[in-house]
């Protein structure tokens, strides 16, 4: 095993856009018909440009790159995104660039490839992620996203396959642990409240109170056709169908010297986890067992335990998933996620702030970008760059959990503040 250290020098996220965002060009927007929302190519270029601006590096020193994307072919009729990354800045031409795909963990996989590249001898690596989904209706998009499930077997559960799969989890989780709808609804309230402080968040301008999040209503309807699961997922329980990109620069110690940068600017990736379960089988719906496995790998590699975690970004693709993520991370016992949330432990000013920028429900979920965005968010918090949602205590140990499909692929990162 290589002993080369891997650092995140810095990175950036684009503004995450989609229905509900004031910047999204949609029927009532004053610019409707005058200009279009950014394309996949524009989102990727914007993320790379913002990343180079945030780090101030000489981009010609990038040696290779990885870009996470799930289904560019379906939403944007564009594949071959390694070459798109090479085309996103003149300095990247002729460098080796590769796309990674692992459903909603595509961005996390891009980061893992970057870590492996540094450990194998590279010094300066670009890691990006991108997805554009808003050019299709939510219903058509749901069919595309259903490719992250076992399509032949699970597509028929509902037109909105993933909301239904997590409606199934919600039903079993609530029954197993006696958890109320209100307890789960608190995850949406936290996500929107955090997003309201984040100028890049998809839901920065939408409010969510507990009365709305705790029960279905005209304003917050259920929408599944599946009779068994319909009652268990409302609009407010869902992550957003977002467009966006994220990018960051990974460096070795030698890379820092080449770039003339200081280790004080960095956070170190001190552990990673990566677990994959069979696409063809379902597991216990009340636990995220693949995720728990990846978390334990990450903790072991970093030599930490759950008590050492100061801050986390978790994959709240649905509200119930956030509670189950706390449990998979061993922040609380099984079934205890609702209490942790209710007690404020995971609020911005809590003991272990989680998803401070709004998570997938509030910040948004441009699928291929999410895993990269999570790491960028930890870097921003550890370096005091999170602006209006900066946590009060500078975190020293952070964790990201990026999940693909229904707990089929999970990528975990463990980070330590340096300097
Ligand atoms: N009353 C009743 N029903 C209503 C309604 C109302 N007031 N408003 C909407 N609906 C129903 C309708 O049936 C509507 O569909 P049609 O218009 O096609 O009939 C459906 O709800 C969706 O409505 P909209 O298209 O207006 O909804 P929207 O664009 O605001 O989207 C959402 C809302 C459907 C919840 C959407 O945000 C969504 O699908 N979110 C989840 C995204 C997702 O699944 N991402 C992947 C997560 S899984 C993961 O991360 C792992 C992985 O690998 C994939």
Instruction: Encode pLDDT of 362-418 as tens digits.
Output: 999 999 999 999 999 999 999 999 999 999 999 999 999 999 999 999 999 999 999
With respect to residue 84, please indicate whether it lies within any of the assigned structural domains. Answer: yes
Residues 6 or more apart whose CB falls under 8 angstroms from that of 33 comprise none
Number of separate domains in the chain: 1
| Structure confidence at residue 148 (pLDDT) | 98
- Pick the closest to residue 355 from 345, 347, 367 (CA basis): 347
- Ligand 1 pocket (Cβ < 6 Å) reads 19, 103-104, 137-139, 142, 145, 148, 160, 162-163, 221, 223, 235, 238-241, 317, 365, 404-405
With respect to residue 48, please indicate whether it lies within any of the assigned structural domains. Answer: yes
Pocket test for ligand 1, best of 138, 233, 244, 403 (most atoms within 8 A of CB): 138
| Structure confidence at residue 419 (pLDDT) | 75
Q: Are strands 124-131 and 64-68 parallel, antiparallel or unpaired?
A: parallel
With bands split at pLDDT 50, 70 and 90, how would you rate the model's confidence at 28? confident
Q: What is the pTM of this model?
A: 0.98
| Structure confidence at residue 11 (pLDDT) | 98
> From CA 241, how far away is CA 80, in angstroms rounded?
22
Distance 177 CA to ligand 1 centre (A): 27
With respect to residue 295, please indicate whether it lies within any of the assigned structural domains. Answer: no
Mean per-residue pLDDT for 312-335? 98
With respect to residue 229, please indicate whether it lies within any of the assigned structural domains. Answer: no
With respect to residue 41, please indicate whether it lies within any of the assigned structural domains. Answer: yes
With bands split at pLDDT 50, 70 and 90, how would you rate the model's confidence at 115? very high
Where residue 405 falls (left for φ over 0; alpha for ψ -120 to 50; beta otherwise) is: left
CATH number of the domain bearing residue 31: 3.40.47.10
With respect to residue 88, please indicate whether it lies within any of the assigned structural domains. Answer: yes
CB of 271 within 8 A of CB of 112?
no
| Structure confidence at residue 2 (pLDDT) | 86
Mean per-residue pLDDT for 110-126? 98
With respect to residue 387, please indicate whether it lies within any of the assigned structural domains. Answer: no
- Pick the closest to residue 42 from 14, 10, 79, 68 (CA basis): 14
CB of 396 within 8 A of CB of 417?
yes
Instruction: Return the ligand 1 atom nearest residue 20 CA.
Output: 30
In which domain, by residue range, is 247 found? 7-135+241-263
With bands split at pLDDT 50, 70 and 90, how would you rate the model's confidence at 1? confident
With respect to residue 25, please indicate whether it lies within any of the assigned structural domains. Answer: yes
């Amino acid at each position: 095993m290589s002993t080369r250290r891997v650092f995140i020098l810095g990175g950036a996220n684009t503004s995450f856009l989609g229905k509900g965002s004031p910047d999204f060009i949609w029927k009532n927007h004053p610019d409707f018909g005058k200009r279009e929302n950014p394309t996949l190519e524009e989102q990727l270029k914007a993320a790379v440009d913002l990343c180079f601006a945030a780090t101030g590096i000489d981009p010609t020193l990038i040696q290779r790159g990885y870009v996470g994307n799930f289904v560019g072919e379906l939403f944007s009729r564009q594949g071959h995104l390694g070459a798109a990354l090479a085309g996103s800045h003149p300095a990247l031409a002729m460098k080796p660039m590769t796309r990674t795909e692992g459903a909603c963990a595509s961005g996390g996989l891009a980061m893992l490839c970057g870590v492996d590249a540094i450990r194998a001898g590279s010094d300066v690596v670009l890691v990006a992620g991108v997805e554009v989904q808003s050019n299709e209706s939510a219903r058509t998009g749901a069919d595309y996203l259903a490719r992250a499930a076992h399509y032949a077997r699970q597509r028929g559960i509902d037109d909105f396959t993933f909301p239904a799969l997590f409606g199934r989890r919600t039903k079993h989780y609530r029954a197993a642990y006696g958890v109320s709808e209100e307890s789960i609804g608190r995850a949406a309230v936290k996500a929107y409240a955090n997003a309201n402080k984040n100028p890049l968040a998809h839901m920065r301008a939408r409010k969510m109170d507990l009365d709305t999040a705790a029960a279905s209503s005209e304003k917050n309807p259920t929408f599944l056709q599946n009779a068994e699961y319909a009652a268990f997922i409302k609009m407010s329980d869902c992550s957003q169908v977002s467009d966006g990109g994220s990018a960051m620069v990974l460096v070795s110690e030698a890379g820092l010297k080449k770039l003339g940068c200081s280790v004080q600017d960095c956070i170190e990736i001190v552990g990673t986890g990566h677990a994959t379960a069979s696409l063809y089988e379902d597991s216990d719906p009340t636990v995220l067992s693949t995720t728990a496995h990846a978390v334990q790998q990450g903790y072991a590699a970093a030599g930490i335990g759950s008590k050492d975690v100061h801050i986390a970004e978790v994959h709240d693709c649905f509200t119930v998933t956030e509670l189950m993520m706390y449990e998979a991370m061993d922040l609380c016992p099984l079934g205890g996620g609702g209490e942790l949330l209710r007690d404020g432990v995971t609020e911005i000013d809590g003991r272990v702030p989680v998803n401070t920028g709004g998570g997938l429900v509030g910040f948004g979920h441009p699928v291929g970008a999410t895993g990269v965005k999570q790491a960028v968010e930890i870097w921003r918090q550890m370096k005091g760059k999170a602006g209006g949602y900066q946590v009060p205590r500078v975190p020293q140990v952070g964790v990201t959990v990026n999940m693909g499909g229904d707990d089929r692929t999970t990528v975990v990162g463990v980070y330590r503040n340096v300097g």
